[in-house]
Amino acid sequence: MAVPPLAPITAAQRRWTAASHGRPASCAAVPIHALASNRLVAHSHAHHHHGHAHTHAPSADADRRWLGIALGLILAFMVVEVAAGVLSGSLALLSDAAHMLTDAGSIALALVAARLATEPARGVFTFGLGRAEILSAQLNGALLLILAAIIAWEAVHRLASPPDIEGGVVVVVGAAGALVNVGAAWSLSRAERRSLNVEGARAHVLADLYGSVAAVAAGLAVLLWGFEEADGLAALVVSALMLRSGLSLVIDASRVLLEGAPRGITPHEVGEAMAAHPGVEEVHDLHVWEVTSGFPALSAHVLVPAGDDCHERRRELEAMLHDRFDIDHTTLQVEHRHADELLQIRRAPSR
């Protein structure tokens, strides 16, 4: 009597097979004993073809110097703008000063996160503390949203009952603020790495730059035409720009925290590319995510024909993933596909 073969381990998600690329696919299941005996786990942490040591932490001084310069510029001018806003009665200037305060807080937070991100992997933090930068970016985005709502609320009240505005003071201080923000934005643009943490600080500074420009426009409108409602309208424009930047930061940071695939990398395309590689019969349990900004990672289960060189296929796939998708941190479990084997049981001859 023939006993059916052992049930295969089914994949939790989509499988990519060689059949979809014009090659005959094996219908054989993967017996449990084959998975137990042929489990080959390839772990690649660095550029596989360079062979140098790998670290999950960025350079300790990659961003902090330029973040510190931007922080000094913002703090120095914030004091000037608060005093000018109080003296002139301009909400545009006061809202810009309030935004500068959040700029300073966001840059200080980014500095702390950048320092934490340099910590090496140890203990329970096997990837290091790189995601401290993502948490910083998400918090900065949330602060932008809150501040945008507060400024918009006050601006609406000012439109209903516009106060007297010293247009000349608003123009001079707003222009000086724009120059300071240009300097801060330039400092942040000099950061070596592109990370959500730095992008969060930059979003605050750019929104503040827009606020300074809006304050200048409002001051000119008051000086030239006596249009005092321009101050409230300028504040509304600033709040709208802050809302846009804040939403973008929160969405991007949430994407990383929720283990979404990095922008520009489609898991389906990655799976098809792997399955189309010569010698690969099936790819499943594919996961692509981003540990922190600029640190994509991938894991997958790969089946190759019986008797094929698993290690060579793994090295080829690592090279392809690096060259085509710029993914260097890979965990590939490569195993042989075995043909179905039926266990034959014969009745012993009766005596």
> Minimum mean pLDDT among 143-157, 196-210, 232-246, 325-339: which range?
196-210
Q: Comparing 27 with 289, which gets the higher pLDDT?
A: 289
**Beta-carbon count within 10 A of 51 CB:** 8
What average pLDDT does the segment 6-15 reach?
Answer: 43
Q: Are residues 170 and 205 in the same domain?
A: yes
Residue 42 pLDDT > 80, yes or no? no
Name the domain boundary from 208, 226, 257: 257
Helix axes 91-117, 132-160, angle to 10 degrees: 170
- Report how far residue 154's alpha carbon sits from residue 152's, in angstroms, rounded to the nearest whole number: 6
- Helix, strand, coil proportions of the chain in percent (round to 5)? 55, 15, 30
- Report how far residue 138's alpha carbon sits from residue 19's, in angstroms, rounded to the nearest whole number: 43
Q: The CATH number of the domain where 82 resides is what?
A: 1.20.1510.10
Residue 188 pLDDT > 70, yes or no? yes
| Domain presence at residue 215 | yes
| Band of pLDDT at residue 63, cut at 50, 70 and 90 | low
Helix/strand/coil (H/E/C) assignment for every residue in 152-176: HHHHHHHHHCCCCCCHHHHHHHHHH
| Domain presence at residue 52 | no
β-partners of residue 304 are 336
Q: Are residues 20 and 93 in the same domain?
A: no
Q: Comparing 329 with 70, which gets the higher pLDDT?
A: 329
- Report how far residue 48's alpha carbon sits from residue 51's, in angstroms, rounded to the nearest whole number: 6
Name the domain boundary from 237, 257, 277: 257
Q: The CATH number of the domain where 266 resides is what?
A: 3.30.70.1350
Q: Are residues 252 and 115 in the same domain?
A: yes
What average pLDDT does the segment 153-166 reach?
Answer: 79
Q: What is the largest CA-CA distance in the chain?
A: 119
Q: Are residues 117 and 9 in the same domain?
A: no
| Band of pLDDT at residue 55, cut at 50, 70 and 90 | very low
| Band of pLDDT at residue 39, cut at 50, 70 and 90 | very low
Contact of 228 with 166, CB cutoff 8 Å: no
Q: Which of 3-7, 13-17, 110-114, 332-336 has the highest mean pLDDT?
A: 332-336
- Classify each residue of 315-345 as buried b or exposed e, where b means 16 or more C-beta atoms within 10 Å of its C-beta: bebbebbbeebebbbbebbbbbbbeeeeeee
pLDDT tens, residue by residue, 200-217: 777 778 877 877 788 788
Q: Are residues 226 and 131 in the same domain?
A: yes
Instruction: Report pLDDT for 43.
Output: 37
Q: Are residues 163 and 84 in the same domain?
A: yes
| Domain presence at residue 56 | no
> Minimum mean pLDDT among 81-95, 197-211, 307-321: which range?
81-95
| Band of pLDDT at residue 321, cut at 50, 70 and 90 | very high
Residue 327 pLDDT > 90, yes or no? yes
> Minimum mean pLDDT among 188-192, 206-210, 340-344: which range?
340-344
Contact of 2 with 342, CB cutoff 8 Å: yes
Q: Are residues 175 and 274 in the same domain?
A: no
Name the domain boundary from 220, 237, 257: 257
Instruction: Report pLDDT for 334.
Output: 93
The residue written with tokens 């993967």 in the block is 30
| Band of pLDDT at residue 322, cut at 50, 70 and 90 | very high
| Domain presence at residue 47 | no
**Beta-carbon count within 10 A of 111 CB:** 19
Task: Pick left, alpha or beta for residue 123 (phi over 0 → left; psi -120 to 50 → alpha; otherwise beta).
Answer: left
Instruction: Report pLDDT for 50.
Output: 38
Q: Are residues 205 and 109 in the same domain?
A: yes
| Domain presence at residue 143 | yes
The residue written with tokens 């827009």 in the block is 210
Q: Are residues 251 and 103 in the same domain?
A: yes
Q: Comparing 147 with 318, which gets the higher pLDDT?
A: 318
Q: Are residues 180 and 294 in the same domain?
A: no
Task: Pick left, alpha or beta for residue 226 (phi over 0 → left; psi -120 to 50 → alpha; otherwise beta).
Answer: left
β-partners of residue 283 are 16, 302
- Report how far residue 44's alpha carbon sits from residue 41's, in angstroms, rounded to the nearest whole number: 10
What average pLDDT does the segment 95-124 reach?
Answer: 77
Mean pLDDT of the chain: 75
| Domain presence at residue 50 | no
| Band of pLDDT at residue 37, cut at 50, 70 and 90 | very low
Residue 271 pLDDT > 80, yes or no? yes
Residue 196 pLDDT > 50, yes or no? yes
Q: Are residues 238 and 95 in the same domain?
A: yes
CA dist 174 → 8, 85, 210, 212 (Å): 69, 10, 10, 5
Q: Could you tell me which of 140, 139, 148 has the C-alpha nearest to residue 96?
A: 148
| Domain presence at residue 42 | no
Q: Comparing 42 with 231, which gets the higher pLDDT?
A: 231
| Domain presence at residue 285 | yes
3-state secondary structure of 331: strand
Going by their DSSP bridges, the two strands 282-292 and 16-17 should be labelled as antiparallel
Q: Exposed/middle/buried for 236, CB within 10 Å: 0-12, 13-18, 19+?
A: buried
- Report how far residue 26's alpha carbon sits from residue 241's, in angstroms, rounded to the nearest whole number: 56
Domains in the chain, number: 2
| Band of pLDDT at residue 316, cut at 50, 70 and 90 | very high
Q: Are residues 210 and 233 in the same domain?
A: yes
Domain that holds residue 289: 2-37+262-344
